[in-house]
Structure 1
Amino acid sequence: MTSVGEALVVELENRGVSCVFGIPGVHTIELYRVLATSSIRHVTPRHEQGAGFMADGYARVSGKPGVAFVITGPGLTNTLTAMGQARADSVPMLVVSGVNALPSLGNGLGHLHELPDQQGLARKVALVSERVETPKGLSHAINSAFGAFQSGRPGPVHIEIPLDVAGQDISQTTPAPAPETVRELDTRQIALAADLLATARSPVLLAGGGARTAALALRDLAERLDAPVVQTVNARGVLYAHPLGVPASPSLGAVRDLIDAADVVLAIGTELGPTDYDMYASGTMPKLNTLIRIDLCPDQLTRHPAEVPILGDATDALTALNTHLGGNGFDRNGATRADQARSAAFDEIGSDMQALNAVLNIIRDTIPAAIIVGDSAQPIYAGNLFYDHDRPGGWFNAATGFGALGYGIPAAIGAAMADPTAPVICLTGDGGAQFSLPELMCAVDENLPITFVIWNNYGYQEIATSMLDAGVTVVGCDPTPPDFEHVARSCGMPFWRCDPGNIARSLRAARDVSGPTLIEIQAPNSAHPL
């Protein structure tokens, strides 16, 4: 006999899943029956929200869906926040949950972990939510979930298995997954876009998160067109230290001026959302003259209509544009335009943000090619405004899009699980760290070489500043942080405390440790200076 729960694990193996983040419970025991003897590694977070954030970080680094196993009711609701972040940032995530027995659903009988409509709740956030109501239904649910990862813009998907179905015998093997379909590019749209770019006088490229795996093709096109490349938060690193790179927020006036002056704008894998393009909530967007868009999602292409919409993968579309343009090269004064935008943008962010940017540069230069995973902390805000990272896909955080606090620590754990060879640095504030501090022990359990860096300004300083700017008396922004040295000691982790100027010394010391480490940076002008 093979149960539905056992068959699910086997099918995940068949689809290349090698790691699952989860907390077992009485409603998911059947999912664990063969997990220990499978090739899948199980990682136990301390909270289901952590499981979701770990799956998110894992997916961003591995390029494969991150998978979380959670229990019925509170297990799923705890994971919904992480699913919201994944939905906002187009991160492929599979959440498998239990649910109460089929006859009880929707009847309000007071069963353990009961919700009025668990699947209805999941459907509000997930791209797809499937319930396995019979053993034969498992195949459909898995195909539907993984099909959502392959058919367009990725995001979170959900499968729930009722308590009375999980242990039932499945009489037939789940069919092998259908081969991934390759979306054919519209060659007419490619030709039209190439012609517009070839005849443009001052083109500008906008790179979003969808371009982070297309760095080489993007660089080739930018150099061929001699066009500046503005990088949103999730695209940082695609043109590190390149004369055409503009690693600055398109919300900044200097960057908007660059975009406004373009006669043709090519937007690649970016939703043109306000957390990137209107960070200051002015209600305005940069001008997008003669807009060409490349995106996987047909719905996304209709939200900001373009003269030339191209439906498809960024690498494929950029490669096709390069091929169509051939050996032609252009002189559009691109490097000068990019340099002027960079210099003006850096001046625009002001001395406080410039100082924080200097800290980020020290971190990058001390630990090259690191994956820096951030929470909503002041250095992260500064970096999202202006920061050039040295690794495509190596700078990501939760301070844009859904904006979930507590993301950094567990997402860094997922990132380290995805690439054990990469140095991983988690950069979080003392406030955000307290949302998910127990997850440090998960990093200890897995002996992951993560350097957790806590920017300690003893409260929610960014929110306090916003309240003062709005003329509101500051309330609720001074939660007392724990003694992080004692936290590290209780976790068995090496600890260093420093000011921003001495971070390099602490990072080098942490680099020589095989497991997780903790560094506390005492922020300047904090309530408790060194």
Structure 2
Amino acid sequence: MISTGMYLTKLLETYGVDTVFGIPGVHTVELYRGLAGSAVRHVTPRHEQGAGFMADGYARATGKPGVCFIITGPGMTNIATAMGQAYGDSVPMLVISTVNQHGRMGSGDGWLHELPNQQALMSQVSAFSYTVNRPEELALVLARAFAVFDSERPRPVHIELPINVMLADAGHLPVPEKVTRLSRPAGDAVAIAAAAKALEGARAPVILVGGGAIKAAGKVRALAEKLDAPVISSTNGRGILPPGHPLTVPLSPSCASSRTVIEAADVVLAIGTEFGSTDYDMYEDGFFHIPGTLIRVDIDPKQIMRTRAAEIGIVGDAGACAEALLAALPDGNHDGAARTAAAIAKAPADLTPAMRGDLAMLATIRDTLADVLIVGDSTQLVYAGNLGFRSAQPGSYFNSATGYGTLGYGLPAAIGAKVGQPGRPVVSLVGDGGLQFSVAELASATEAKTPVILMLHNNNGYGEIKSYMVSQNIPPLGVDIYTPDLLAIGEAYGWHAEVLAHYADLPAALKAAASRDIPTMLLFGDEVRAEAEKVAPAV
């Protein structure tokens, strides 16, 4: 007999799934019967939230959905936070769980791992949540999930298998040799023409880009150069234009120097960006405005009319729409480089000395390790990076300090990224407080043979929150936490662990870490940040 759980693995293989993150449990062991004989790799985290964060990092690093096998009840409530982060950042994630069998599901009789309505809970952090009531439904609901990943705004999808369905015979069901994959819409021709007309007549156009444009980086860059328009990016859009490009405005649209460029624009083209407050109004000062005509390109039609409604909206793939605009527009001469240079000249006023030091540390990581992936938690280096780090390429700098804003993301997401991109160096930026949310995943990195590099900032507490409380005249209660011997913990988990004593030692330490076949922890304190601050450039 081929059970539905075994049949699931065969279907996943037809979609090209090569990795699953999960922790086996009594309710999911049948899923592992088929997995054991397949080509799909299984990675075991130490917590289901870690599984979700690993899947998130894997998806961002590879462009493929991260897949998780999760038990009923507590497994699902544990992974809900990771799904919330992926939902907020438009990350494709397939979460497959079990649920109590028919007749016990939602009964209130106290069955193991029972929730009143697991699907209702998961529907809040997913594009959709579906209960498979018959084995015959499984292939079709997987097709629906991959339709979301391929052609909609990518977000998590949850599929739950009642235990009796997971155990049911599915040997009579065919395994397709080839599955149908959908393409994204190319954009309405009338809307493209209207956008091209507005841009052609613009005096001072500006382009705003977000994570929805990273796969179209080459076309967006060509469009910016043809328009001669400055480009300002959200955190997830960093690297679409490389550092030093004459049209790269360096700082986030939360900063005055970038906002000045936007406010002076008569036409603003926004591609794949949701205008989230953590990117566009991080300080919540309410001063982000777009006075000019707004053109929005987005795969999600609802987003085009959310936060700031567009005068011209184009529903479609960022690359296809940029290509269509390229074909429709003549070369422009709009003083783009001069306007960008003016923003760069004003940028130092938007950054504190400490922020400039943190940006210098990030630039050192980028410049020391070729093709590096930098994965961040909610921590001080990351907050500075989200304001002004210039990533070398798109999709190479991401973190959990935007949108949903979880702690504990950095380490497991870096492990997932390394699983997906084993040939690239992966550096995780984490604080001592955030690490203790997911410290057990140090074991997962060792077990999975993923030699990530952990840049661990130790200030013995929740430093950013403490600073904020002090600035608001609130007694800093609950932020000075007990911090254990993190080096000893790292070594106990099989890591190479050392103290980074001086900022000048960072390049050599990174190179040595990248040469090891085990993970490396580089522990540093505020004195290293202070040294970086002394030598940091203005921007």
Does the TM-score normalized on the shorter chain lie above 0.5?
yes
TM-score, normalization: structure 2? 0.95
Determine which of 357, 382, 406 is the counterpart of 1:404. Answer: 406
Q: Aligned-pair distance for 1:305?
A: 1.8
Check the 8 A contact 1:416/1:424 in 2, yes or no. yes
- 1:453-496 Cα distance to aligned partner (Å, 9 max, x none): 10111111100111111111010101122212212210221122
2:354 maps to what in 1?
A: 352
1:270 maps to what in 2?
A: 273
Alignment of 1:14-413 (within 5 A): 14-170=14-170, 171-175=172-176, 177-241=179-243, 242-303=245-306, 304-325=308-329, 328-413=330-415
Alignment of 1:414-429 (within 5 A): 414-429=416-431
Change in 2 beyond 3 A, CA 1:525/1:324: closer
CA distance in 2, matches of 1:109, 1:443: 39
User: 3-state SS of the aligned residue for 1:437?
Assistant: coil
CA distance in 2, matches of 1:284, 1:99: 47
1:474 aligns with 2:476: yes
CA distance in 1, matches of 2:130, 2:512: 48
User: 3-state SS of the aligned residue for 1:316?
Assistant: helix
User: 3-state SS of the aligned residue for 2:297?
Assistant: strand
Q: Aligned-pair distance for 1:150?
A: 2.5
User: 3-state SS of the aligned residue for 2:91?
Assistant: coil
Check the 8 A contact 2:186/2:320 in 1, yes or no. no
Check the 8 A contact 1:372/1:396 in 2, yes or no. yes
Check the 8 A contact 1:221/1:322 in 2, yes or no. yes
User: 3-state SS of the aligned residue for 1:520?
Assistant: strand
Check the 8 A contact 1:370/1:391 in 2, yes or no. no
- 1:195-236 Cα distance to aligned partner (Å, 9 max, x none): 211111110000101111111101101111111000110011
CA distance in 2, matches of 1:182, 1:207: 18
Change in 2 beyond 3 A, CA 1:181/1:236: closer
Check the 8 A contact 2:216/2:318 in 1, yes or no. yes
CA distance in 2, matches of 1:42, 1:288: 51
Check the 8 A contact 2:146/2:181 in 1, yes or no. no
User: 3-state SS of the aligned residue for 1:108?
Assistant: coil
1:483 maps to what in 2?
A: 485
**Residue identity in the other structure for 1:247:** P
Q: Aligned-pair distance for 1:174?
A: 4.9
- 1:351-396 Cα distance to aligned partner (Å, 9 max, x none): 1111111111111111122000000111100010111011211000
- 1:266-311 Cα distance to aligned partner (Å, 9 max, x none): 0000001111111001234222410001000111112132111011
Change in 2 beyond 3 A, CA 1:288/1:103: farther
RMSD: 1.5
- 1:387-407 Cα distance to aligned partner (Å, 9 max, x none): 101121100000011000000
CA distance in 2, matches of 1:20, 1:467: 41
- 1:305-353 Cα distance to aligned partner (Å, 9 max, x none): 211101111111111111112xx32221111211221232233112111
1:520 aligns with 2:539: no
Determine which of 507, 512, 519 is the counterpart of 1:509. Answer: 512
CA distance in 1, matches of 2:291, 2:484: 47
Using the TM superposition, name which of 168-177 and 60-69 deviates more. 168-177
Check the 8 A contact 2:184/2:317 in 1, yes or no. no
Q: Aligned-pair distance for 1:525?
A: 9.1
Q: Aligned-pair distance for 1:429?
A: 0.7
CA distance in 2, matches of 1:163, 1:79: 19
User: 3-state SS of the aligned residue for 1:130?
Assistant: strand
Stretches of structure 2 lacking an aligned partner (at least 5 in a row): 530-539
Using the TM superposition, name which of 131-140 and 222-231 deviates more. 131-140
CA distance in 1, matches of 2:220, 2:32: 43
Check the 8 A contact 1:15/1:177 in 2, yes or no. yes
Using the TM superposition, name which of 289-298 and 481-490 deviates more. 481-490
- 1:412-443 Cα distance to aligned partner (Å, 9 max, x none): 01111111111100011111111111111111
CA distance in 1, matches of 2:74, 2:287: 39
CA distance in 1, matches of 2:92, 2:528: 40
Stretches of structure 1 lacking an aligned partner (at least 5 in a row): none
Q: Aligned-pair distance for 1:177?
A: 3.0
Using the TM superposition, name which of 344-353 and 495-504 deviates more. 495-504
CA distance in 1, matches of 2:373, 2:183: 31
Change in 2 beyond 3 A, CA 1:343/1:436: farther
**Residue identity in the other structure for 1:71:** I
CA distance in 1, matches of 2:96, 2:363: 39
- 1:230-276 Cα distance to aligned partner (Å, 9 max, x none): 01100111111211012311011111111000000000000011111
2:494 maps to what in 1?
A: 492
**Residue identity in the other structure for 2:297:** I
- 1:124-161 Cα distance to aligned partner (Å, 9 max, x none): 11111011111112123212222222331010110000
CA distance in 1, matches of 2:100, 2:248: 52
CA distance in 2, matches of 1:174, 1:305: 45
Check the 8 A contact 1:240/1:390 in 2, yes or no. yes
Aligned residues: 525
TM-score, normalization: structure 1? 0.97
User: 3-state SS of the aligned residue for 2:527?
Assistant: coil
User: 3-state SS of the aligned residue for 2:269?
Assistant: strand
Using the TM superposition, name which of 239-248 and 223-232 deviates more. 239-248
Task: Determine what percentage of the aligned residue pairs are the same residue.
Answer: 48
